Amino acid sequence: MSLDVKRVAVIGAGVSGVASAAHLKASGLDVTVFERTAKVGGVWVFDPRRPPEPTYPSVTPSVAETAYFKVKADEVDDSDSKSVDSGVEIDKEEQDDPAILHAPPGPCYEGLQNNVPTGLMELSLNSWKPGTEQISKHNVLASYIQDTASKTGVNDITLFNTKVDLVEKKNENGGAKGKWHVRTSTLEENQKTATVKDWEFDAVVIASGHYHAPHVPDIPGLAEWKKTWPDRIQHSKRYRSPKPYKDKTILLIGGSTSSSDIAKELEGISKQTYQSTRNGLFDHPASMLPPNAKRVGEIASFSSDSNTSINPTDSIPGSVTLHDGTIITEIDNVIVCTGYHMTYPFLHPLPRYHNDLLSNTTTDPNILVTDGQQTHNLHKDIFYIPDPTLAFIGVPYYTATFSLFDFQATALAAIFSGKAPLPIEQEMRTEYEARVKAKGSGRIFHSLMGKDAEYVDELFGSINPWIVKAGGEPLKGHNDKWKLQYEELREKMAERKASIQNELLKSTAKVDRKVPYVAGIEVPVNGVQDQHLD
């Protein structure tokens, strides 16, 4: 299947959007990038402002990105609004700020750093500056993406403060023919109003990332706690610093990367940290928690002894009951670290692409999103099978993101520029269904977990014969230097895992005793994990 593509829209100017735009531009295509914030860098750009809180519980994925928890001025007592030191309370004016609603700040917090070495994340488009540490803070990574955008000319084709409100295919017969209608709104200098504009493109690349629509589970009593003490409960997307939690008892809901990272940040700050998990597939080992953090089981319910406001120094007057019957009291704050929904609310007509009533195992051939845990019907996690002129870069999880997304963008540019065709739709469908059967549905479907090089070799293997046949240079995947560093990292993690297990075997203390906490790169032994915020 050959595609007739000349003009391309790229949504997002994080690393996946910059890589996509740079490779498409270098292939001779007319590219426009839409970025709703004022800067290149995506999730790595730190903004001290905090995004609006999601609803409790979160709503269905198709509308989750713009459904917010609201605090009315007459609903919350002043004493409660200051129930935690500055940096946590909900600002009742900020939650209605047009600039924040236009481009909600991301989840980057003050101490965020990569947990995959920079050597494994280098783009083919740009080298790291000499002396860059393997583990660096968010500003180093944001600067690297910004420098790449500048050197490749992506800055010159990017419209900042421009949000994509609608993406719709103008083709009644379906398939790859026809134009994409894109509607944008650009925030004006007054930060209050926006200018709307309509565009037409041959193809659209969605590179908007994972971290827009927070997921909040429907745990009995949690919504009531949030309503009664709104400043004491927040999603991890709003977390910025451990400072407000000094000498507090904190409950973290969830056991994946953001929860574990926050637990480490709270070391030496909080009085006690509890981390509640369901023992999910992507939970980090409890042994990686710092000494003042305790892993506990899944929460059954929240209950309250009072629905009145509380003083800043008071604990929440209620208790948390776990499924094993354990009751936890004297909690000061709850941070909900339960990840995000995948959602693309600008795609229209919405019912064609989103069906909130379906589970992730009962999708149909057109639906992209059901329960928010998977992007369905993509060929090689990139091309929308019913119409490959709609493409996605940055969907895979648990991978060395920068380099992987760079390779995806290279393949995308080869297809869109006509250097290689895609298989016919039925062949893509057959391959996709076989992959679903082999991997299963949900978040695990997009998880590479140590298969980065294998994925890229397969991706380029389907493209290179066409390029070579036309006399071109084949696309090159991970080099030997990358593979060697990757294997060294895996060996290091295997040694660390074995050391922790040995300590556990030697321990004769009670079950809840912690092995000594060792700082270091936190990745699972079976694959690198660049999922900082989930």
The domain spans of the chain are 7-44+111-212+341-469, 61-105+216-338
Q: Is the pLDDT of residue 255 over 90?
A: yes
pLDDT computed for residue 69 by the predictor:
82
* pLDDT, mean over the chain: 89
Q: Is the pLDDT of residue 50 over 70?
A: yes
How far is residue 315's CA from residue 328's CA, in Å, rounded to a whole number?
A: 12
**Closest to 32 measured CA to CA, from 198, 144, 188:** 198
The answer to whether 318 and 327 have CB atoms below 8 angstroms apart is no
Q: Is the pLDDT of residue 78 over 90?
A: no
Work out the pLDDT band at 402, boundaries 50, 70, 90.
very high
Q: Is the pLDDT of residue 424 over 70?
A: yes
Window from 83-97, 313-327, 384-398, 520-534 with minimum mean pLDDT: 520-534
Work out the pLDDT band at 80, boundaries 50, 70, 90.
very low
How far is residue 235's CA from residue 239's CA, in Å, rounded to a whole number?
A: 7
pLDDT computed for residue 326 by the predictor:
97
Both structure tokens of 65: 């990105």
CATH number for the region 7-44+111-212+341-469 comes to 3.50.50.60
Work out the pLDDT band at 496, boundaries 50, 70, 90.
confident
- Whether the model clears a pTM of 0.75, i.e. scores above it, the answer is yes
Residues 299-315 have a mean pLDDT of: 89
The answer to whether 297 and 323 have CB atoms below 8 angstroms apart is yes
Class of domain 61-105+216-338: alpha beta
Both structure tokens of 420: 């290689």
pLDDT computed for residue 2 by the predictor:
87
Amino acid code (one letter) for 416: F
H-assigned helices in 364-463:
401-416, 425-439, 452-461
Portion of the chain with pLDDT greater than 70, in percent: 88
Distance of CA 299 to the CA centre of its chain: 24
Task: Check for a shared fold between 7-44+111-212+341-469 and 61-105+216-338.
Answer: yes
Window from 75-84, 95-104, 248-257, 288-297 with minimum mean pLDDT: 75-84
The answer to whether 72 and 239 have CB atoms below 8 angstroms apart is no
